[in-house]
Amino acid sequence: MFRKEIKVLDCTIRDGGLINKWDFSDDFVKAVLVALAKSGIDYMEIGYKASRKIISPDGLGKWRFCDEDDIRKVCEGVDLNGMKLSAMVDIGRVEADEIIPADKSVFDMVRVASYVKDIDKAIELVKRFHDHGYETTINIMAVSRALSVDLEEALKQLAESEVPTVYVVDSNGALYSEQIDYMVKKYQKYLPGKTIGIHAHNNQQLAYANTIESIIHGANMLDATVYGIGRGAGNCPLELLLGFLKNPKFRLRPVIELIEKEFIRLREKIEWGYIIPYAITGILDEHPRSAMELRDSAQKDEFTKFFDSFQTELII
């Protein structure tokens, strides 16, 4: 698949940090940065931006806050090869007076995560960053749980906003290919002229397939992570996506080498990927937090009891 409009955003550190509270060393983050730059990736999302006035830093790594000096330090001496840096923000977790102009920042893009019910707040926050010179996106989370009428109203509001890119986010890893098709086409209908993005989770081992499905129907902003790392079941594996895109600007070898040198041993320390509890929450369209709690408990392999705890009437 080749389409010159397609851009790839790697969110390894940001989404992977949801597993270990962003406790990645500078050396690890730099290794990811260098490999992604060599691979020709368009954007690296290096973490979250948040105010320490609102969120306590206790127990959280630096990539949950992404201070400018920390980012500059890890980027020192690295040829980014045209790769841009991104950060994600949550509504209500940034202070307006802490936003600096983009021309004084290491960041090129800020992505705003929002549920459908908060879309007006997301639009307001995007405007603040847009006015400061940043590229922006809005990532509509948990679209699988949104009522159609509410989603359509949100998309109508976004159509009139300044945000150039809007994401389909399968937060629960619950969507199948036909639903991805439906969602991408719905976004295109209500958001003419805007770029559609996809962020898939791998609860049912469909993150890669669903990303491909979105590409086929016109999504041009694609999220992925190295070795599929990410909250719970993880995300679309970057190495598979690059292989599928077959764009001559992308190089797969640096990512393979990064996995060999950094991610194999990381996998021995923290857990992510397809596991039955995440499959269960995906099938039932539930947030994976309960599955994550189970995997952190002494009963982590009691899959049937976990399934029965939902008291579902489904017969599987």
Between 241 and 96, whose confidence is greater? 241
Q: Over the range 41-58, which residues count as b (16 or more CB within 10 Å of their CB) and which as e?
A: bbbbbbbbbbbeeebeee
Q: Say whether both 297 and 184 belong to one domain.
A: no
Task: Tell me the Ramachandran region of residue 92: left when phi exceeds 0, alpha when psi lies from -120 to 50, beta otherwise.
Answer: left
- Asked if residue 314 has pLDDT above 60, the reply is no
pLDDT class of 315 with cuts at 50, 70, 90:
low
Whether 1 is in a domain gets the answer no
Whether 2 is in a domain gets the answer no
Q: Say whether both 259 and 287 belong to one domain.
A: no
Backbone φ and ψ for 167, nearest 5 degrees, come out as -100, 140
CA separation for the pair 276, 304 (Å, rounded)? 10
**193-245 tens-digit pLDDT:** 999 999 999 999 999 999 999 999 999 999 999 999 999 999 999 999 999 99
Whether 152 is in a domain gets the answer yes
Backbone φ and ψ for 135, nearest 5 degrees, come out as -70, 150
Q: Say whether both 190 and 263 belong to one domain.
A: yes
**132-185 tens-digit pLDDT:** 999 999 999 999 999 999 999 999 999 999 999 999 999 999 999 999 999 999
User: How many folded domains does the chain comprise?
Assistant: 2
The pLDDT of 92-107, averaged and rounded, is 95
pLDDT for the residue numbered 54: 96
Q: Say whether both 260 and 302 belong to one domain.
A: no
Written as six digits, the tokens of 207 are 């993150």
Q: Say whether both 193 and 121 belong to one domain.
A: yes
What's the predicted TM-score (pTM) here? Answer: 0.96
Q: Say whether both 295 and 243 belong to one domain.
A: no
pLDDT for the residue numbered 2: 78
**44-72 tens-digit pLDDT:** 999 999 999 999 999 999 999 999 999 99
Q: Say whether both 250 and 187 belong to one domain.
A: yes
The residue type at 214: S
pLDDT for the residue numbered 192: 98
The boundaries of the domain holding residue 54 are: 7-267
User: Over the chain, what is the mean pLDDT?
Assistant: 96
pLDDT class of 311 with cuts at 50, 70, 90:
confident
| Residue 136 burial (10 A CB sphere; 0-12, 13-18, 19+) | buried
Q: Say whether both 294 and 173 belong to one domain.
A: no
Taking alpha carbons only, the member of 27, 57, 58 closest to residue 266 is: 27
Residue pair 170/143 in contact by the 8 Å Cβ criterion: yes
pLDDT for the residue numbered 316: 56
pLDDT for the residue numbered 246: 86
Residue 43's DSSP bridge partners are 9, 84
CA separation for the pair 123, 156 (Å, rounded)? 12
Coil, helix or strand at residue 187: helix
- Asked if residue 119 has pLDDT above 90, the reply is yes
CA separation for the pair 278, 227 (Å, rounded)? 17
The residue type at 231: R
Q: Say whether both 138 and 283 belong to one domain.
A: no
pLDDT class of 313 with cuts at 50, 70, 90:
low
Q: Say whether both 101 and 123 belong to one domain.
A: yes
CA separation for the pair 272, 22 (Å, rounded)? 14
